[in-house]
Structures are given as C-alpha cells and as structure tokens.
A and B are shown apart, each in its own frame.
Chain A
Amino acid sequence: MQKISRESLVEKAIAMLQAHEVSAVLGWKKGEFDYDITPALFTDAEDLQKNFVWNDFCGANFSKYLVEKTRNIEGKILTFLKPCDTYSFNQLLTEHRFDREKVYAIGIPCEGMVDIKKIKDACGEGIASIACEEDVLKVTTLYEDAPIAIETETVLAERCLACKSKKHVAYDELLGETGEVLESNRFDEVERLEAMTADERFAFWQNELSRCIRCNACRDVCPACTCEKCVFDNPNSGVENKAAANSFEEKLFHIIRAFHVAGRCTDCGECSRVCPQQIPLHLLNRKFIHDIDRFYGDYQAGAEVGSRAPLVDYTLDDLEASEIFEGRDN
C-alpha cells in the first residue's frame, strides 16, 4: 500500500486545475483490468475525481510523456513523479527534450510497485478484481469464492526490490516525504551474467531474446528513446534493415538500442515492465551502467540536470581503450 493517499493527490490536482495554475494533469487511470493501470491526461475535476488512480500498480513513468505533451498543450502540465521517475525527468531536461517552465512537478513517495506476473503466478488466471489494502492485495478470481490475500511484499516488481533511490532529484513541490539514495543490489544479476562463460552467456541471451516479437514496446516506453526519428524507423539509417532475419536476430535491435541509450539510461526499468514476453531487457542497460561505473567512476544518469555522462565527456584521467579492453573480464 502506498503511504500517500489517492485523495490527497486528487485534491491537489483539482485545486491547481481550478486555480488555472495548470491546464492539464498527467496521472494514472484504470485500463481494462484493475492491474493494467495506464497513463492518462486529465483536464477537468470531475474526470479526476472519478478516474484518477494511485495504488500499487502505478508503475508507469510519466517523464517521457512530457516531451510530446508540453509541445501540444497550452499552459502548464501537472505531473506526479515517483523517485525513480525524477531521474528520467532530469535526464530529459539534460537533453533539452522539454521545456521545464511548462511543467509543475510534484514528487510523491513510492513504496514499490507490484508485478502482475508474480500475482498471476500466485493465484492463477481469471483475475476479476484486485483491491490494494495495507500490506496485502485482495485478489478476486473467477474461480474462487473468497478473495485471495497476497502479501504485497511478496509480489513487488524486481526493479523495486533492487530500488536504487527513494530520493526525489527533481520536483517543484513534494507531497509526503522524500527518501535517500539506497545501497542497492541491482548489479548482482549483472555480475552473475559476467561470471558465465561466453558460451553460457550467449545461450542465456539467445533464450531470452529469441522470444522477442519486436513489438517495440520497450523502445516506445523508454524515456531515453525520444529521437525525432528512430533509426529503426528510418530506411536511410542503414540500421533498420539489419534486424530480424531469424528469431535471434532481434538481438541486434536490443544491442543497438542498448548502445543508443548507454550513459543516458537511468535504470528506470520500464523496458522490462512493458515487455509482453518478460525479457529482462534492463540487464543489458545495467551491464552498461556497471561498466561505466567501473571504468569512469560512479555515475548516475539523471541525478542532476546538465551532468556530463562519461561517454560524452573527456578528461585527462580517462582510461585508454587498451585498459578497457584488458579490463573487460574483470
């Protein structure tokens, strides 16, 4: 259960709309099911009162929506940012992708979001409704008479279990409290992959990436993927026709994408959240982050606006290419 209440968010949003301080509110609303909470743009109080949702399923990161919405909407947009969303928000500002003046950012605390896959594993298919209560989810399915209670903690998303920070690095106003940057274990899985032999690692990724159906959801949701024209959609890039001769050839899409976002990825984990095939795509990006940290010292994309990512910066103490090559197995 989230510590800050839905009501306080709605109240704040309505107050700002009615005072004409903002002309729209980026928030969450229910999709077809209780668990597919989707981003939505609200422009009137009634809609907010009725449809605004804030619960353990509000994983969606709004930062990327600001790129398009700030262009198309007159006046300011109110957006709610969880701690991890604020990193993407800053990174997009660093890249001049939207006008900061057109956004009113409210930082809200987050206790971690749940993973519907884990819930389904626990109580099976046929979920009719889910109620988020204190520390438990009450899941009603088509096949059971009584709701099944699942402890929220047991179904937290992987990215939340490895949460890097509860601290808001950008906001105009905070509702609730901000936290600290955490000691996270998020590189454990990367290190496990690094410890594999090259063949084992290849087999691992072949198994994962062969499932890719190239729906482009990872790219479309990624806050680092905001190019005016994606190279994969551009016949002149010489890249778009490099992907997909067989099922594993999609790896090129993912590897190229990982290179494109290297140094800019804040590790928000949206790519893995939206993947319909449950491919752990965030591990590719995390490997880059881990390497950058090792070669150039700790760097967190989006921690501050205007920071120079090591890959597009140059200092006299930078490693030589040969040192990186030699250190590749360490």
Chain B
Amino acid sequence: MQRIGVFVCWCGSNIAGTVDVQAVSDALKNEPGVVFSTNYQYMCSQAGQDLIVDAVREHNLTGLVICSCSPRMHEATFRKTAQKAGLNPYMVEIANIREQCSWVHKEMEIGTEKAIILGKAAIAKVHLNAPLTPGESPVTKRALVIGGGIAGIQTALDIADAGFKVDIVEKLPTIGGKMAQLDKTFPTLDCAACILTPKMVDVAQNENVRIFSYSEVTEVKGFVGNFDVTIKKNARYVKEDICTGCGACVDKCPMKKNPNEFNLGMDNRPAIYIPFAQAVPKVATIDPNACNMLKNGKCGLCARVCTAGAIDYTQKDEYIEEKYGAIVVATGYNPISMDKFDEFAYNQSKDVITSLEFERLTNAAGPTAGKLLRPSDGKHPEKIVFVQCVGSRCDACAEKGKEYCSKICCMYTAKHAMLTRDKYPDTEVYVFYIDVRTPGKNFDEFYRRAVEEYGVHYIKGMVGKVTPEGDKLIVQASDLLADKQLKIDADLVVLAAAIEPDKSARPLATMLTASMDTNDFFTEAHPKLRPVESPTAGVFLSGCCQGPKDIPETVSQASAAAAKVIGLLVKDKLTGNPCIASSNELMCNGCSSCERVCPYGAITYVDKEFRMPDRTTRMRRVAQVNPAVCQGCGACTVACPSGAMDLRGFSSSQIMAEVDAICK
C-alpha cells in the first residue's frame, strides 16, 4: 500500500480564485492511501518544495500527488523535488487543476468539485505507479536545416561555426529565399542582396555545411539525437559538380517563354535557367515541363553548347539517407493568393501588384532593371496607391484572409513609399491603413520620415474597390479621420498581401510530428520561455515558419535556434524517457500490428522458445521493444489486439483506474 501525500497549489489566485483549495485538500485527505494532505500558495517555490520534502520525510510518503498546473509546466520540477526527498521521480503524479479546471470554470463550486475529481484520479493512478529508471541514447552530431532562406542560412552558419556538421535542404534550385528577392531592407535601407549574398557564399564555402538544393525531405524517422531522414534530390538534369554556371545553355535555349518564378512571373526565363546571378549553387536547372528534349526528345541544344558536359537528360531523382541529431525547420512564408480579393482587381489589371512584385520592379536585378515602370505599358506611374492589410487582420472573413497581423507590411510599405518619393519626387503616393504598427528599433522614426520628410499621404481607412478604367485604376476609399469618401485615379496599386506559412510546412509537420496552430504556423514548446523549440524534442524553429517576422527578428531567432541545437549536439548521451512500451511476451500473438504503427521503428519480432503449461516447448513469434528507440507515444498499446503491449507510467490499468476514479 502506498503512503500518498497530496499537495494542492493555489498558484497565487490562478487556482485559488476559482477552486476552494482548502476543500480540495480536505476532501482528498480521506482517499485510500492518503496519509498527508495540504495546500500552499506557490508549491513550485523553494518554500513549497521544502514543504514537500519535509512531508515525505516526516510521513514516510511513497507517492506524491501534486494538484497544480499542467504537467508540461512543472512536472519536471516536482520530479526533481521527489528525487531530493529520496523518492523515485516517477512516483509523482500531477492533477492539472489549473488549465483543465480553474482556468476553464468560473464558479467556485464547480471548479472545486472538478478539482477533487481530478485529484482522486491522480491518487488512483499513483497507487499503481512503480519506480522507473531512464535509459540513455547517443547523439548524432549533425544537424539538418530545412529551408535555405535567411533563417536557414543563419542557423546553419552558427551551428557550423560551433564545429558541427550541418545540411541545408532547399526545395528551390538556389538558397536565399525571399530575402534574395527584396530590394532594400528597412529601417536602414541597405540593399538586401549586398548583405545576403555574402552570407550565401559563406554558407556554400563553409566546410561543415552541405547544401542540398532543389531537394526536399520525404521521410523522417527516429527521435531526438537520432533522426533518420530521407532527402529527395530532384533531378535537375544538370550535373551539379560539373556545371560551372557559365550560362551558355541559358542563352541558347530556344524555349524562352516560361514565367520566371524569381521575378514572380513578371518576365520570362528559358527552360534551362539559373534563378539569378548570385544563385548558390550557381548551377543551371532544366524545367522538365518546359524542356522540349525532356518532353519529346527533340532539341538537345544545351548539351551541345555546354563545354563542361554537365547536361544529363537521363538524370533521375536521387534519394539520400542521412542521420541527424537535431532538425531545424526554416520553411518560411509566401504572400497569400489574391484570387479571393476581386475588389482590388488584381486579376483584371496588370497594374495591380503585390508588394513582393513591387520589390522586383524596383530591384536593379528585376525585370525592369530597377526602373519603376507599370507592368501594363511600361510607363512611369505618377500616382501610386498602397493598400495595407490585404488579407491580414480579417476577422469576419477568415475564409478569405488571415486573422493575424502579418507584421512586416507596415514597415515595407513605408519603405516602398519613401523610396518611390526619393527616386521619383514627381510621384504622388498614397498609403491606406487600418493602423500603422511600428514597434521595433528605429521603426517609428522610419515611418515618420516617410510622412514628414517624404510627404507620403497616409490615409486611415480601407480601400473598398479598385476599378480599371482606360489606363487608370479608380480607387474608391474612405478617409476615416476626415470622414469622407475618396476617389483616386491611380496608375499603380500595390497590395500589401498577408503572408502565410509555406505550403510544404504542413506535410513536414506531420513527418516531424511537430504541432502547428490553425494557421499552419509551427507552435513553440512554450510561447515565452521556449520560443525556438518545437514541443517535439529535437525539432527547432527558425524564422517565419513559426510566425510572421522581419529580417532582424528572423536572424535573432535563427541564431537562437542554432544555440539550442549546439546545446543538444555537444552532449554525448541523452537521458531518455523511462515511460516506454514493453510487451508481455506470454500474451503477444506475434501479429505485427504494433510494429506497423510504431513511428520510431522501435519494435522488432523474434522467434523465441517458450515452456508451455503442459511441459512442452513451443517457438513463438513475439514483439520486443528497443528501449533506446521507444519514445513512449503509446500507439502500439492501442493497436495491440491482445493487450500484450503496455506503456510504463501510463499502463492500461493505471488509465482504467483513473477513469474509474472519475466515474465513481
């Protein structure tokens, strides 16, 4: 029989505000096996922990029930406390009476009743707890960074500088990401290429870094310290190690009319292409949907002009398997599609563009060589209207846009407006906004300069409709401060489209078993205290995959993720989780259901000789769990038809006991 101590935490007023903590500790005192029950203001504080240690010694407690916050918050804390008191740390059970009780109830009576029930369930479970000892597993000293934008590049560089091997997987033919497409960067207006391309070169030349461009992750197995990853290198039909990037093929390719993705389709590229002059790796890629040779075997011009002999039309997708200790997700963002925003006439007029397209129009390496010209007729626009929050901060229309603030649009719009006025002072510039949000170092000063020094017309109000009329765009809008309707005949309309996580993020999250929010942004292990870690051990977050961010913030987060990865990779061994599965071989049927559902490949089958009750021996096929690989997810215990598979610390009988206690 266990001697159980119950410790009810007030969490200040967090719990005590809606739960009568005295009533809870009194009620639980009468449960079987409970020899001590008390409550305290902050159980996690030093004084609270001392109270637990003293109670264990004084009452010879063998099991502890802590009624407090979520085990994700303080289970580890109280396990350490138990250890300090001489108990096995796994003799602690947490009844979550905060998140699952006081925070969701308003009435004291109901909250108290539920807290008592949750406490009883934890007591019922602790009766069946047994001391557990964690095992150890080795750490593969290599990291994988998924995504080769500024976030991925920075993370990889920092990890490599600490002396660890890093691989970057980038799905496009070049690393660089969105930042490579930008013109200038706020608030200092330095040129994006000037600060990014040296980093791209650094990362390419770093001997600890390997870059898999035009590649994607197709399978992830294993667990923290020991991930097994399959990377698919898409066939680019050019031998990467031989191509010199001279561009002769690009010049000669006859299939020239394919939308150029790098310039967002505003000009064309040949079927064989190098995305931009500073691409890394600077290697040509053949677009199989555009190449005549690949489609019907006619042409072969690029192979003839290539003096290096790098063209290989027979190249196949290649699969690479590699082991990693840590994985960093840096899959970035994209502007949302404007298809649902008919009111802005994006699909009707070439002169309604998104802000990212505007970046390309003003970029010296863009389709107009940096001259701000209208896409429709190549004339200089004299009146430009910028519309902010297109698809951001939508509440009622969540189907159309996003509920969140995309965070970067206020600043880049101020940048666009300012640069336009600076280069073309004869241009009239209007910016329509809901609010201008500029919290950041030197951000508000930057915005004020746009208004005060550059004479940009900032108008509070939303644009209702854009109508193409002749070669003008009639913009109907309201000025909320002046309380009047406006009609502006603009030459160019620029939409600050909301940003969303890259579409590759969701399938990747599934592979990584990393959680996401409803907007497909990866969630952090803790929004404040563990912002660059995913709740899945060994998976870290860098850049916009976790939420909208500007470049300075992305780079800081990238380095923070790198620091966490380095902290993991320097360890030789990781202490495992003892709450793992084990099979009762006498009951195992050998059916393989568990082996099939195990996401970690922790289960194998062996033929084993058993002594039967009638003194005969029999060979039976039974499941065995590799304790170093099992992560204790419990999938096998559910799949097992005979109940032979059980999870230590969460055994079926423990869970049944909890359910019984709740239903009693």
Of all chain B residues, the one with the shortest Cβ separation from A96 is B590
Q: Which of A227, A234, A314 has the most CB of B within 10 A?
A: A227
Flag if A95 contacts B643 (CB, 8 Å). no
**Residue numbers in A under 8 Å from B588 (CB-CB):** 228
Q: Is B551 an interface residue (CB 8 A)?
A: no
Flag if A228 contacts B596 (CB, 8 Å). no
Flag if B586 contacts A229 (CB, 8 Å). yes
Of all chain A residues, the one with the shortest Cβ separation from B610 is A228
**Residue numbers in B under 8 Å from A97 (CB-CB):** 589-591
Tell me the chain B residues, 550-609 only, with Cβ under 8 Å from chain A: 586-593, 596-597, 599, 605
Q: Which of B591, B592, B652 has the most CB of A within 10 A?
A: B591
Flag if A231 contacts B643 (CB, 8 Å). yes
Of all chain B residues, the one with the shortest Cβ separation from A237 is B643
Return the contact of B642 from the options A94, A231, A238 (Cβ within 8 A): A231
Q: Is B621 an interface residue (CB 8 A)?
A: yes
Flag if B597 contacts A314 (CB, 8 Å). yes
Flag if B589 contacts A226 (CB, 8 Å). yes
Alpha-carbon distance between A261 and B599 when the two chains are bound, in angstroms? 22
Tell me the chain B residues, 590-641 only, with Cβ under 8 Å from chain A: 590-593, 596-597, 599, 605, 618, 621, 639, 641
**Residue numbers in B under 8 Å from A199 (CB-CB):** none
Whether A95 touches B592, Cβ cut-off 8 Å, given contacts A227-B587, A231-B643, A234-B587, is yes
Of all chain B residues, the one with the shortest Cβ separation from A67 is B589
Q: Is B442 an interface residue (CB 8 A)?
A: no
Q: Is B315 an interface residue (CB 8 A)?
A: no
Alpha-carbon distance between A17 and B656 when the two chains are bound, in angstroms? 52
Q: Is A312 an interface residue (CB 8 A)?
A: yes
Of all chain A residues, the one with the shortest Cβ separation from B636 is A312
Tell me the chain B residues, 309-345 only, with Cβ under 8 Å from chain A: none
Q: Is B348 an interface residue (CB 8 A)?
A: no
Type the 1/0 row for B489-513, where 1 means its CB is closer than 8 Å to any CB of A. 0000000000000000001001000
Alpha-carbon distance between A100 and B587 when the two chains are bound, in angstroms? 22
Tell me the chain A residues, 225-247 only, with Cβ under 8 Å from chain B: 226-231, 234, 236-239
Flag if B653 contacts A236 (CB, 8 Å). yes
Of all chain A residues, the one with the shortest Cβ separation from B660 is A238
Task: Write the nearest CB–CB distance from A241 to chain B, whole angstroms.
Answer: 10
Alpha-carbon distance between A239 and B618 when the two chains are bound, in angstroms? 28
Flag if B652 contacts A264 (CB, 8 Å). no
Type the 1/0 row for A92-108, where 1 means its CB is closer than 8 Å to any CB of B. 00111100000000000
Flag if A96 contacts B592 (CB, 8 Å). yes
Q: Interface majority SS on A: helix, strand, loop or mixed? A: loop
Flag if B589 contacts A234 (CB, 8 Å). no
Return the contact of B596 from the options A234, A238, A313, A316 (Cβ within 8 A): A313
Return the contact of B641 from the options A96, A260, A308 (Cβ within 8 A): A260
Type the 1/0 row for A282-312, where 1 means its CB is closer than 8 Å to any CB of B. 0000000000000000000000000010011
Of all chain B residues, the one with the shortest Cβ separation from A226 is B589
**Residue numbers in A under 8 Å from B586 (CB-CB):** 228-229
Whether A228 touches B642, Cβ cut-off 8 Å, given contacts A95-B589, A95-B592, A234-B587, is yes
Whether A238 touches B652, Cβ cut-off 8 Å, given contacts A96-B592, A316-B507, is yes
Q: Is A20 an interface residue (CB 8 A)?
A: no
Of all chain A residues, the one with the shortest Cβ separation from B596 is A312
**Residue numbers in A under 8 Å from B596 (CB-CB):** 308, 312-313
Flag if B587 contacts A229 (CB, 8 Å). yes
Of all chain B residues, the one with the shortest Cβ separation from A262 is B641
Alpha-carbon distance between A237 and B584 when the two chains are bound, in angstroms? 12
Chain B contact patch, size range = 20 to 34
Q: Is A201 an interface residue (CB 8 A)?
A: no
Q: Is A71 an interface residue (CB 8 A)?
A: yes
Tell me the chain B residues, 636-662 only, with Cβ under 8 Å from chain A: 639, 641-644, 652-653, 656
**Residue numbers in A under 8 Å from B587 (CB-CB):** 227-229, 234
Task: Write the nearest CB–CB distance from A111 to chain B, whole angstroms.
Answer: 33
**Residue numbers in B under 8 Å from A316 (CB-CB):** 507, 510
Q: Which of A96, A228, A236 has the most CB of B within 10 A?
A: A228
**Residue numbers in A under 8 Å from B591 (CB-CB):** 95-97
**Residue numbers in A under 8 Å from B639 (CB-CB):** 311-312
Alpha-carbon distance between A236 and B639 when the two chains are bound, in angstroms? 18
Alpha-carbon distance between A261 and B597 when the two chains are bound, in angstroms? 16
Of all chain A residues, the one with the shortest Cβ separation from B622 is A228
Of all chain B residues, the one with the shortest Cβ separation from A263 is B593
Alpha-carbon distance between A316 and B504 when the two chains are bound, in angstroms? 12
**Residue numbers in A under 8 Å from B643 (CB-CB):** 231, 234, 237, 239
Alpha-carbon distance between A95 and B618 when the two chains are bound, in angstroms? 18
Return the contact of A238 from the options B618, B641, B653 (Cβ within 8 A): B653
Task: Write the nearest CB–CB distance from B610 to chain A, whole angstroms.
Answer: 10
Type the 1/0 row for A208-238, where 1 means its CB is closer than 8 Å to any CB of B. 0000000000000000001111110010111
**Residue numbers in A under 8 Å from B593 (CB-CB):** 95, 312
Task: Write the nearest CB–CB distance from A205 to chain B, whole angstroms.
Answer: 22
**Residue numbers in A under 8 Å from B597 (CB-CB):** 312-314
Flag if B656 contacts A238 (CB, 8 Å). yes
Alpha-carbon distance between A236 and B651 when the two chains are bound, in angstroms? 12
Flag if B510 contacts A229 (CB, 8 Å). no
**Residue numbers in B under 8 Å from A239 (CB-CB):** 643
Alpha-carbon distance between A308 and B589 when the two chains are bound, in angstroms? 17
Task: Write the nearest CB–CB distance from B477 to chain A, whole angstroms.
Answer: 39
Flag if B590 contacts A229 (CB, 8 Å). no
Of all chain B residues, the one with the shortest Cβ separation from A236 is B653
Alpha-carbon distance between A231 and B646 when the two chains are bound, in angstroms? 13
**Residue numbers in B under 8 Å from A312 (CB-CB):** 593, 596-597, 639
**Residue numbers in A under 8 Å from B599 (CB-CB):** 314
Alpha-carbon distance between A1 and B643 when the two chains are bound, in angstroms? 44
Alpha-carbon distance between A95 and B641 when the two chains are bound, in angstroms? 11
Of all chain B residues, the one with the shortest Cβ separation from A92 is B591
Alpha-carbon distance between A59 and B599 when the two chains are bound, in angstroms? 41
Flag if B641 contacts A228 (CB, 8 Å). no
Flag if A227 contacts B618 (CB, 8 Å). no
Alpha-carbon distance between A96 and B596 when the two chains are bound, in angstroms? 13
Alpha-carbon distance between A227 and B618 when the two chains are bound, in angstroms? 16
Alpha-carbon distance between A230 and B510 when the two chains are bound, in angstroms? 35
Alpha-carbon distance between A221 and B590 when the two chains are bound, in angstroms? 20
**Residue numbers in B under 8 Å from A234 (CB-CB):** 587, 643
Alpha-carbon distance between A196 and B588 when the two chains are bound, in angstroms? 39
Alpha-carbon distance between A116 and B199 when the two chains are bound, in angstroms? 83
Alpha-carbon distance between A248 and B428 when the two chains are bound, in angstroms? 81
**Residue numbers in A under 8 Å from B641 (CB-CB):** 227, 260-261, 264
Task: Write the nearest CB–CB distance from B38 to chain A, whole angstroms.
Answer: 32
Alpha-carbon distance between A30 and B588 when the two chains are bound, in angstroms? 36
Return the contact of A71 from the options B510, B618, B642 (Cβ within 8 A): B618
Alpha-carbon distance between A18 and B641 when the two chains are bound, in angstroms? 40
Alpha-carbon distance between A154 and B126 when the two chains are bound, in angstroms? 61
**Residue numbers in B under 8 Å from A261 (CB-CB):** 641
Alpha-carbon distance between A230 and B644 when the two chains are bound, in angstroms? 10
Flag if A96 contacts B621 (CB, 8 Å). yes
**Residue numbers in A under 8 Å from B507 (CB-CB):** 316
Tell me the chain A residues, 32-73 only, with Cβ under 8 Å from chain B: 71
Of all chain B residues, the one with the shortest Cβ separation from A91 is B591
Of all chain B residues, the one with the shortest Cβ separation from A230 is B642
Alpha-carbon distance between A238 and B653 when the two chains are bound, in angstroms? 6
Alpha-carbon distance between A313 and B599 when the two chains are bound, in angstroms? 10
Alpha-carbon distance between A227 and B584 when the two chains are bound, in angstroms? 13
Chain A residues with CB under 8 Å of chain B are: 71, 94-97, 226-231, 234, 236-239, 260-261, 264, 308, 311-314, 316
Seed contacts A97-B591, A228-B644; 8 additional CB < 8 Å A-B pairs: A95-B592, A226-B589, A227-B642, A229-B586, A229-B587, A264-B641, A308-B596, A312-B593
25 residue pairs bridging A and B, Cβ less than 8 Å apart: A96-B590, A96-B591, A96-B592, A96-B621, A97-B591, A227-B587, A228-B586, A228-B588, A228-B642, A228-B644, A231-B642, A234-B643, A236-B653, A237-B643, A238-B652, A238-B653, A239-B643, A264-B641, A308-B596, A311-B639, A312-B593, A312-B597, A313-B597, A314-B597, A314-B599
Top 10 A-B pairs ranked by shortest CB distance? A95-B591, A227-B642, A238-B656, A96-B590, A312-B593, A312-B596, A229-B587, A231-B643, A237-B643, A312-B597
